[in-house]
Amino acid sequence: MTEAPDSPVWFITGCSTGLGRALAEHVLARGHRLVATARRPDALADLAAAHPAQCRVRALDVADAAQVAATVSAAAAAFGRLDFVVNNAGYGLIGALEECDEAQIARNFEVNLFGALRVIRAALPLLRAQRRGHFVTISAAAVIANYAGFSIYGASKWALEGASEALAAEVRPLGLKVTIVQPGPFRTDFIARSLERASGHLADYDATSGKFRSYLETMTGRQPGDPLRAAAAIFTAVTAANPPFRLVLGKYAHDKARRKLPAAARELDATGELGLATDFPTGP
Ligand SMILES: NC(=O)c1ccc[n+]([C@@H]2O[C@H](COP(=O)([O-])OP(=O)(O)OC[C@H]3O[C@@H](n4cnc5c(N)ncnc54)[C@H](OP(=O)(O)O)[C@@H]3O)[C@@H](O)[C@H]2O)c1
C-alpha cells in the first residue's frame, strides 16, 4: 500500500524483534508513516529499504536520556508531526525480590519505567502543540495480577500504568489520548533473550519464583499469543474513533482479568466494614 502524504506518523521503541517489529510492519502495511527505533538500527534496514517514503530508522536506547531527546526531536522533524508514540521497548527480570541485586533492579526500572516516561516527556511538547496525539504503552499481564519471581518487572509495569492513568487525565483536555496494552504470553524473544535472570539464588524460593522461572522456560516458542495478531489488534484499537484506555491481549490475560474482577469485589466486601469505619463520623 502506498502512503497518503498526510497519513498518520508513528514512533515506536524496540522495533528490532517481537511486538515492536510486528507493529512496525503492520503500520507500514496499512500505509501509515513510521519512525522505527532500535538499539541496533541495522536490524531495521530492511523496513526502511522496503518502504523508503514511509519509514525512517533511528538508533534509540531508551536508557540513554540524551539519545531519547535527540531521537524524539529528529523523529518529529522527519515527517513534521507525530501521531502515535508507542513505548514498547522493555525486558523482564526473573527472580525473587531477594535474589535480584540492586543494579539489576535499577536497570530494569531504568528501561521499562524511566525509559518510557522519558520518551513520553520528550514527545509531550510537540503533541501538546499539535493538540493531537496518542501515547500507546506496552505493559504486561503481570499488572492484572503478579507472579512470584516478577516483583521488579511487574513493579516497573505497574508504575508505568500508574503514571499513564494520571497522564491520561492530564492530557485528555488537551486533545491527547493514552492506551495501555496488557499482553499475556506472546511468541517473541521475550523469554529467550529479553528475560534477565536474578544474580542470586536462594533455595528457599525454588518452590515459588523458581517454579515460575522453570515454567516460563518451558513456554519458549510455545506462547499462545501471535505477535502479528497483537499488532493488528493494537492498530485497530488505537485508530478507532473511541480508542480504549486498556487493551488486554490474548485469552490467557483475558481469563486472568476476568478472575481478578470478582476477586477484587469479594475482597472489598470482606474488608469493607473495617475500612469504611475509618472515616470521621458525619452528621449529628
Ligand atoms: N512477549 C510477551 O510475552 C510479553 C508479555 C507482556 C509484555 N511484554 C512486553 O512487550 C514488550 C516487547 O517485548 P517482546 O515480547 O516483543 O520481546 P522482544 O522480542 O525481546 O523485544 C523486546 C524489544 O525491547 C528492546 N529493548 C530492550 N531494552 C531496550 C532499551 N534499553 N532501549 C531500546 N530498546 C530496548 C529490544 O531491543 P534489542 O533487540 O536491542 O534487545 C527489543 O526490540 C516489552 O515491553 C515486554 O515487557 C511482552
Which pLDDT score, from 0 to 100, does residue 5 have? 67
190 lines ligand 1 (CB under 6 A): yes
- Residue closest via CA to ligand 1's atom 32 equals 61
- The string of pLDDT tens digits covering residues 204-253 is 999 999 999 999 999 999 999 999 999 999 999 999 999 999 999 999 99
- Residue 136 phi/psi, 5° resolution? -120, 125
pLDDT at 109 over 60: yes
Which pLDDT score, from 0 to 100, does residue 283 have? 81
pLDDT at 267 over 70: yes
Q: Is residue 39 within 8 Å of residue 113, measured between CB atoms?
A: no
Which pLDDT score, from 0 to 100, does residue 4 have? 58
pTM comes to 0.96
104 lines ligand 1 (CB under 6 A): no
User: pLDDT-derived band of residue 122, with 50, 70 and 90 as boundaries?
Assistant: very high
- The string of pLDDT tens digits covering residues 73-100 is 999 999 999 999 999 999 999 999 999 9
- The string of pLDDT tens digits covering residues 16-69 is 999 999 999 999 999 999 999 999 999 999 999 999 999 999 999 999 999 999
Which fold would CATH assign to domain 9-252? Answer: Rossmann fold (3.40.50)
- The string of pLDDT tens digits covering residues 142-193 is 999 999 999 999 999 999 999 999 999 999 999 999 999 999 999 999 999 9
The residues annotated with a catalytic role in the active site are 139, 153, 157
- How far apart are the CA of 208 and the centre of ligand 1, in A? 25
- How far apart are the CA of 6 and the centre of ligand 1, in A? 30
Helix, strand, coil fractions of the chain, as percent rounded to 5: 50, 15, 30
Going from N- to C-terminal start, the domains of the chain cover 9-252
Indicate which atom in ligand 1 lies nearest the CA of residue 22. Answer: 16
Q: What is the mean pLDDT of residues 127-144?
A: 98
- How far apart are the CA of 281 and the centre of ligand 1, in A? 50
126 lines ligand 1 (CB under 6 A): no
- Percentage, residues of the chain above pLDDT 90: 96
Q: How far apart are CA 167 and CA 278, in angstroms?
A: 30
Number of H helices, E strands in the chain: 9, 9
18 lines ligand 1 (CB under 6 A): yes
Ligand 1 pocket: which of 13, 19, 144, 212 to mutate (most atoms within 8 A of CB): 19
Burial bucket for residue 49 (CB in 10 Å: 0-12, 13-18, 19+): exposed
Which pLDDT score, from 0 to 100, does residue 218 have? 93
User: pLDDT-derived band of residue 284, with 50, 70 and 90 as boundaries?
Assistant: confident
250 lines ligand 1 (CB under 6 A): no
Residue type, 171: V
Ligand 1 pocket: which of 12, 15, 16, 164 to mutate (most atoms within 8 A of CB): 16
Q: Is residue 57 within 8 Å of residue 36, measured between CB atoms?
A: yes
| Higher per-residue confidence, 284 vs 112 | 112
pLDDT at 103 over 70: yes
